[in-house]
Amino acid sequence: MSDNAKKTNEQNNGTKSQSFLAAIFDWANTVAFAIIVVLLILTFVFKQVTVNGPSMNDTLQNGDRLIVTDFMYEPHNGDIIVASHGKEYNEPIIKRIIATSGQSISVDYDTGDVCVDGVIIDEKYIKGKTIKLSDPIKFPVTIPEGYVFVMGDNREDSIDSRTNVIGMIPVQNIIGKAIFRVYPFNNMGQI
């Protein structure tokens, strides 16, 4: 092989090595960028919480892991939310929104009926009868601006807005709406 052919062959091998290293570098940059994007989304858009206690039975069980988001979230009746409630609990609470700002709510403890704006709401998701809790709020009540009224689905074993211990939840304390159950795997799915 001539000297020129050897130099050309060496240059081609060097170029191939550089191309291979450049491809690996581009691939590593793409993977690193994807990981950063996923971490940012999980940090700022979605959060994972674990259900603690029986207050949302049978809809949610103790130990269920949920994905919640507050991205462009506006509270609506029926939403399952996670809210901080630092004055009584160190951990966030998980409840269902029953009424929002401006709505009037009343509870008939004899029948267990819950009325929002004078209409009995259809609550196929509840477990047990809606009972009177200790230190109850006085009904009927209109939800003030910037607050929501929440209750657990397990009405006989839930400390919620029916009592002054929890009271109404400021909208600013809502961590997010529960949108997906990720664990247990046999119950994985949209909430």
The domain locations on the chain are: 46-190
Residue 17 among the catalytic residues: no
Residue 2 among the catalytic residues: no
Q: In the structure encoding, which two tokens stand for residue 152, read together? A: 């657990």
Taking a C-beta distance cutoff of 8 angstroms, is the pair 97, 148 a contact?
yes
Average pLDDT value for the chain: 88
Q: Which of 84, 87, 95, 129 is catalytic?
A: 95
Q: The domain at 46-190 falls in which architecture?
A: Ribbon (2.10)
- Residue 182: its pLDDT value, please? 93
DSSP 108-126: ETTTTEEEETTEE---TT-
- Residue 88: its pLDDT value, please? 64
- Per-residue pLDDT of 89-128, as tens digits, reads 678 899 999 999 999 999 999 999 999 999 999 999 999 9
Q: Which of 55, 158, 161, 177 is catalytic?
A: 55
Question: Rounded to the nearest 5 degrees, what angle is found at the Cα of 26, between the Cα atoms of 20 and 31?
Answer: 125
Percent of the chain with pLDDT over 70: 87
Taking a C-beta distance cutoff of 8 angstroms, is the pair 88, 166 a contact?
yes
